[in-house]
Amino acid sequence: MKKIILFVSCLFSGIFYSQAQNIESIVDSFVKADQFSGVVLFADKGSVVFEKAYGYRDFADKIPMKKSDIFELASVSKQFTAMVIMILQEKGKLSFDDSVSQYINIPYKGITIRHLLNHTSGLPDYQSIMDQYWNKSKVAGNADILAYLNKYQPPVLFEPGSKNDYSNTGYVLLASIAEKASGIDFIEFCRKEIFKKIGMKDADIRTLEEKQSTKNFAIGHIYVPTKSAFIRADSFPSSNYTIWLGNRKGPGRISSTAADLLKWDQALYTQQLIKQSTLDQAFSPAELNNGTLSNYGFGWDINTDGIGNKYVSHNGDNPGYKTQIVRFIHSKKTLIILCNNAIPNFAAMSKQLENAMMD
């Protein structure tokens, strides 16, 4: 019996080693071709199979990246915003099919919380309005964004529920709704009800000043051809919306290590935060008005592999950052990619690593 156990153990160790080698080979090719900088983590049933840091936390000072460094998650943050709403729904503070106008004042009718969650609201892009009219020497938050939507009233893009169209505006509104329904600041709610509850020690929603004072914060960089170098993204404040929209809540702004994201991933296999029946809705496609299904749930893209197994994912894209989390729910495999130099072939790299997970 001991020999059989040893054989099985060696077999799985060999499989993990092969997967780790394959992943490392893929990442190495993008390090060589595109100078990928960041952290890649691959886990199987919560056990880390591969985790490695590449490049620099700060290119100018050539500070090497570490696995423990903290990255902006960008739109990967949306799954946490959706979780806040699901927690409040279970607490009886709101309902997914409540009208948005029950909680906040917007010049648009017929939009529900569910529409916001699954990107079927038809809301216009708040960033274009703020980019056009906002004084970029100031830092805007949700109240400012809502005020400008009400002041300028850009038209809706389509009837609510008729299409799926990715909307950062919707997730700004969700955070504001959460504050109204709970009576608690959105950031404090995330800290208490999610980050601390599941042991995410480094995850937080940080101000610009807090990021600057966090020594292990991986700085976002963009490649500047005229200088043949990666330059700090915050060197260009007028074109960097994360600076002049630096107080917004909901669509982004969570920062985390790869290890903390794995804790988040693993918590979603439990009922620490919400019931499984509620979480199932996050991983279910939205039904449009005409009966067709979209490929987005509550804060998650919904995909299927080559043999029909559903898996969920989300990417993020901020100036200087690109991020990705992929969860193969049936096999409990997890891929996390955090990049702080926004390489142009990030999507190709992510896809190759996704395919490697399926092997």
Asked if 350 and 337 touch (Cβ cutoff 8 Å), the reply is yes
Within 13 Å and on the Cβ side, how many CA atoms surround 205?
Answer: 25
Chain centroid, CA 202 distance in Å: 15
Contact between 347 and 323 under an 8 Å Cβ cutoff? The reply is no
Residues near 323 by beta carbon (within 8 Å), at least 6 away in sequence: 71, 72, 73, 74, 75, 76, 315, 316, 317, 337, 338, 339
Among residues 37, 75, 167, 182, the one annotated as catalytic is: 75
Would residue 75 show up in a list of annotated catalytic residues for this protein?
Answer: yes
* Contact criterion met (CB below 8 Å) for 41 and 265: no
CA distance 304 to 284: 12
Neighbours of 106 (CB within 10 A): 17
Task: Evaluate whether 47 touches 9 at the Cβ level (below 8 Å).
Answer: no
Say how many C-beta atoms besides its own lie within 10 A of residue 303's C-beta.
14
Give the residue numbers annotated as catalytic, written as ranges.
75
